[in-house]
Structure 1
């Protein structure tokens, strides 16, 4: 079995990131969205890799198979965004989602982030279970910081204190 590497995003990864995220959103979950509707994906270094933020990719055989971003939203708070894992490497046996989240949480601790927030859709039921199992608690949208970058499709929100 090929080893899966978790590392920080580099500009050469841009197309690979989009090639993982878009099919999951569009084909698997039927969300009518384009890359152009997600401008953050074209400016990952500026959008995520600034302040206390960062962006990670999971790489298998030279191809990106997973992503997660941490967006600095000020006040030692951050938003978890763009957590996607390709279907062929999902599940406990691969541990890609867990390893991506571990990298994000270790970074958050290292840079002094105290709270991580995330928004997701009602459709991502497996993701809800994953986040809850990993210490995230569901919160009402009113509990989000004013600086949280809310997406139109988000309907469920979570918080984890570090």
Structure 2
């Protein structure tokens, strides 16, 4: 278990979360007019074991009163030095506007730094205005090299050296 934030339980993904996590992504992407790509950019949410657990990454789910309402994850990438990419940070509408996104991002950053990583990359789409605002206000710098077709922005944050 990762912990609690204002009545939300944040915990490690379990096999029984596969459909709920996929449904959250599908729902939020559709809400913002973005494509759900289960055989492309979103296959990692279907194959969490392969993309996250087997590579040294983590995939978290967020619950409220037993219902999965959000996801957040990261895995190591070959871009940069000792780098990870934060992925699949999505919240259903009922979980937004309460500081949960900021809290999740901060917790991911702490976990990533404690594991010895030095760079955090995030790809997103301009239409996800709340996400863009969160990343920019959290010290992420615009970069180049977007790899995901539906994304048009990429950010990087360099963690301090010990």
TM-score range, shorter chain: 0.7 to 0.9
| Partner Cα separation in structure 1 for residue 96 and residue 74 of structure 2 | 21
1:111-160 alpha-carbon deviations (Å, 9 max, x no partner): 1010011111121112111111111111122xx7xxxxx21111111001
- Choose between structure 1 and 2 for higher RCO, CA contacts under 8 A separated by at least 6 residues: 1
Q: TM-score, normalised by structure 1?
A: 0.85
Q: TM-score, normalised by structure 2?
A: 0.85
Gaps in structure 1 of 5+ consecutive residues: 145-149
Deviation at 1:34, TM superposition (A): 4.2
Provide the residue aligned with 1:14 in structure 2: 18
Deviation at 1:100, TM superposition (A): 1.6
For the 8 Å contact 2:24–2:69, the answer to whether it is kept is: yes
Q: Secondary structure at the match of 1:45?
A: helix
| Partner Cα separation in structure 2 for residue 29 and residue 4 of structure 1 | 24
For the 8 Å contact 2:82–2:117, the answer to whether it is kept is: yes
Provide the residue aligned with 2:102 in structure 1: 98
Provide the residue aligned with 2:88 in structure 1: 82
Deviation at 1:70, TM superposition (A): 0.4
For the 8 Å contact 1:52–1:113, the answer to whether it is kept is: no
Gaps in structure 2 of 5+ consecutive residues: 1-5
